[in-house]
Amino acid sequence: MKRKWLSGPYVLWMVVFTLIPLGVVLYFALTDAATGTFTLSNLAKIADYWPIFLRSIWLSIFATLICLVIGYPVAYFIAHCKPTTQRLLQMMIMLPMCISFLLRTLAWVALLDDTGIINNFLTSIGLSPLPLIRNNGAVILGMVYNYLPYMILPLFTVLMKIDPRLVEAAEDLGCNSRQVFARVILPLSVPGIVSGITMVFVPAVSTFYISQKLGSPGTILIGDVIESQFKAAYNPNFGAALSLVLMVLIFVCVGVMNRFTNDDEESMVTL
């Protein structure tokens, strides 16, 4: 009984800072701004913004896949280094996270701008400047740079826990390095892959500052629209409706990935 009281602060925190804010969002999403009466008109207007939803999801998926392609080899390499080297590399990965998210994004503006460092260098050697900013590629680059550590760290944690005796057993049974990776390491690292995908996709799909600084009017994401509803347009009811739909989409994606992880773990236990 006493142990249950230990969870009291956590439960209180979740109620005050999670459940109550979600209830406020739900209330504003389902009420009229003028009269405060129940309405579904806010949700009905979201149909006009589906292209922006799809663009946000598409760019976030693309950035997440790039993070996975880059992050998995990095995590695998770190997991097989000496403990002292592991600590050093982990510190180097986490070091940029100690700098403000805004400053890290603005640094890329200084690099990629038409009069930025890269284009000034190209001009100085006689080449034409490149359109490095205000496009989808720049937005994806900003997402990958800012969220790559969230992919590497979960993968590293899972890869570190893989029993080396399983690899040795596979090699004793005649598996080469590719077969060991495909049949042992990769299946056992699926929970880390799913965790990393979740930790990258969720903030990427809801971001707004990256698209504002590195994107253009043609790369507006749903996070930009939500922010504008609470600032420029000041329509918190519609902004809450957009936030509610985005939250449901994120929950669906996370639920599907968690279900995939559970199914994969059950299949490995069966094998």
What are 74-114's pLDDT values in tens digits?
Answer: 999 999 999 999 999 999 999 888 888 999 999 999 999 99
Phi, psi for residue 31 in degrees, rounded to 5: -125, 160
Say how far apart CA 196 and CA 193 lie, in whole Å: 5
Say how far apart CA 59 and CA 41 lie, in whole Å: 28
Q: Is 174 left (phi over 0), alpha (psi -120 to 50) or beta?
A: left
Lookup result for tokens 């995590």: 75
**Cβ–Cβ < 8 Å for 181, 76:** no
Q: How far is CA 118 from CA 124, 144, 248, 254, in A?
A: 10, 19, 40, 38
Q: What is the mean pLDDT of the chain?
A: 88
Q: Facing residues of 31 across strands?
A: 38
% of the chain at pLDDT higher than 70: 94
| pLDDT level of residue 144 (50, 70, 90 thresholds) | very high
Residue 158 has which token pair?
């899972």
